[in-house]
Chains A and B, each alone.
Chain A
C-alpha cells in the first residue's frame, strides 16, 4: 500500500498526543539528520514539513490567512505524486519546488506581479538542509536590515506597528505625536524602506 490507512494515521496521532512536548520542537521524531533518512509514511512527511512550508510561505506573503491557504495548496498538490516511503531530502526538494509554483501562481492571481518568490539559492538551501533552521530566519534578517538603515523616528514607527502590533493611535501616543502625524511618519518610513528594498535588488 502506498498510503497509510486512516486507522494507521489515527494511531500515529494518538502516539503524538500522548507525548505533546516532543511535538513542540519541530517534530523531533523524524530522523532528519541522516542524508539517507526515509519517511515511514505520509503522516511523517506532513508532520515534519508543515511548519517549514508555513514559515516559508508566511515570510513571502506576510499574513496568516494567505500563508495557511498556500500551505494547504502545497500539501494537497504534492500529496498525489509524492510517495510516502521516499527519502527526506527528496521529499523536501519536491515540496519546496511545489511551494515555489504555488506562490508564483498566488501572486499572478492576486497582484499580477511576482511580489516575492522562493529563491532556490537561499530559501531552499535553508529548507533542504538537514539541520534545524537558524534561530532567526531570513525574514528577520531582511527586516533587521531595513530597520537598521532607516532614521530613528521612521525605525520606531515601523517597530511599533509591525513588530509590536501597536495600533496607529497607540504608536502615536508612544512617540508623542498626533495620529495624523503617526500615519504620515509610517507612510514615509515604508516608502524609505521600499527604496532600500530596490537598492538591495540592484547588483
Chain B
C-alpha cells in the first residue's frame, strides 16, 4: 500500500527532503498537487536567517578568494620557457644578443598584455571625422523607456530614451565584434557568438569567461533630436 509516492508526500509533510524515485505520469500529478499545497503552508514564505547569512558568507568568501587570485604574479610556465630560450641562445656566438632581444620581446609582450587586461577602458565615444547627422527615427517612435535597434550601414546600435533624453550605443560586442541583438524582454543586448550581455546603457552585464574582468562598455554614439527626428552622427555611406 505504501508507495514511493506516498513516502515522498510524507516527507514533504514532515518538512524533510524527499527521496528520488521513478514516478509515473499519475504520480507526477500527485506530486504537483502536494508541492502546491506544501508551498501554501504559512511557514513556507521566508528563508531562515541562518541560511541567508551562511550563503552570504560563502559568497563573500568566494569574492575574497577571487580577489587574491585576480593578480597572479606571472604564469608559472613563462619563466622556465624564457630561461630555456636564453640558455639555448648563450651557446652560439650571436647568442647573447639574440637572447637579449627575445627576452625584450617576451618582456615587452607581457607588460603590454598585462596593461591591456588590467584596465577596463571607460565608455568611449565614436565620433567620425567625416560624418553627417543622419535621421534614424521619428522622435515619436521612441517613447520613454523604449529601446530600439537601428542600422545606418557604417554604424549600427541601439537607441533608448531615459528621462526624456535619447542615448545611443554601438551595437557591436566588445568581446570579439559580433553584432548584438535585442532580447525578447527589450532589456538586454545579447551577443549571438559567445552569449555576452549588455545593458541598454552599454554596460557589460555577463560575459563568456566566468571570473574574468568585465568587457569594456559599448561605445556611445553622438545622437541628437531635431525637428521631431532622432539623428546619429555617422560617416556618410558614400565616404
Q: Are A3 and B46 neighbours in the complex by a CB distance under 8 Å?
A: no
A93 to B106, alpha carbons, bound, how many Å?
Answer: 43
Contacting pair B33 A190 (CB below 8 A): yes
Residues of B close to A187: CB separation below 8 A: 6
* Chain A residues in 8 Å Cβ range of B201: 36, 87
- Please report the C-alpha to C-alpha distance between residue A79 and residue B64 in the assembled complex, in whole angstroms: 13
Residues of chain B with a CB closer than 8 A to A118's CB = none
Given contacts A2-B214, A62-B12, contact A94 B56 (CB under 8 A): no
CB of A125 to closest CB in B, whole Å: 10
Contact call A162/B197, Cβ cutoff below 8 A: no
A143 touches B187 (CB 8 A): no
Bound-state Cα–Cα, A61 to B79, Å: 52
Cα A140 to Cα B44 in complex, Å, equals: 10
From A3, A63, A187, residue with most partner B Cβ within 10 Å: A63
Residue of A with least CB distance to B30:
A194
A63 contact from B18, B20, B30, B214, Cβ within 8 A: B18
> When each residue 139-173 of chain B gets 1 if its CB lies under 8 Å from chain A and 0 otherwise, what string results?
00000010000000000000000100000000000
| A1 to B203 CA separation, bound complex (whole angstroms) | 15
Shortest CB distance B163–A (Å): 8
Interface residues in A145-203 (C-beta closer than 8 Å to B): 146, 158, 161-163, 165, 187, 190-191, 193-198
Q: Which A residues lie within 8 Å of B59 (CB)? A: 42, 46, 75-76, 79
Name the one of B13, B26, B187, B207 contacting A161, with C-beta atoms under 8 angstroms: B13
Q: Which of chain B's residues has its CB closest to A186's CB?
A: B9
For the side of the interface on A, what is the size category?
A: 35 or more
Task: Please indicate the chain A residues that have their CB under 8 angstroms from the CB of B211 in the complex.
Answer: 80
Q: B60 touching A83 by the CB < 8 A rule?
A: no
A85 to B210, CA, bound (A): 16
Q: Indicate if the CB atoms of B62 and A46 lie closer than 8 Å.
A: no
A71 and B30 alpha carbons, distance in the complex (Å): 24
Given contacts A4-B63, A113-B28, A194-B26, whether A90 and B197 have CB atoms under 8 Å apart is yes
Interface residues of B in 7-43 (CB under 8 A from A): 9, 11-13, 15-18, 20-23, 26, 28-43
CA distance A172 to B213 in the complex (A): 61
B11: chain A residues within 8 A (beta carbon): 63
Closest to A41 in B: B63
Q: Contact: B47 with A143, CB < 8 Å?
A: no
User: Which of A54, A68, A79, A85 interacts with B203 by CB under 8 Å?
Assistant: A85
| B16-A62 in contact (CB<8A) | no
B44-66 with Cβ < 8 A to chain A: 44-48, 51-52, 55-56, 58-60, 62-64, 66
- Distance from A119 Cβ to chain B, minimum over Cβ atoms (Å): 13
A65 on the B face (CB < 8 A): yes
- Residues of A1-24 at the interface with B, using a CB-CB cut-off of 8 Å, are 1-6, 9-10, 13
Task: Knowing A71-B47, A72-B58, A93-B188 are in contact, say whether A195-B29 is a contact too (CB < 8 A).
Answer: yes
| Interface membership of B113, Cβ < 8 A | no
B199 near A87 (CB under 8 angstroms)? yes
B35 closest partner in A (C-beta)? A62
- Is B100 interfacial (CB 8 A cutoff)? no
A68/B51 contact (C-beta < 8 A), A81-B206, A94-B206, A111-B22 known:
yes
Q: With contacts A80-B210, A90-B187, A143-B40 known, what are 13 further pairs, Cβ within 8 A?
A: A4-B63, A10-B60, A13-B56, A46-B55, A50-B56, A58-B45, A62-B35, A87-B205, A94-B197, A111-B20, A139-B40, A193-B34, A194-B33
12 A-B residue pairs with Cβ-Cβ distance under 8 Å, sorted by A, are: A50-B52, A62-B38, A76-B58, A83-B204, A87-B187, A93-B185, A93-B188, A111-B28, A161-B13, A163-B41, A163-B42, A187-B6
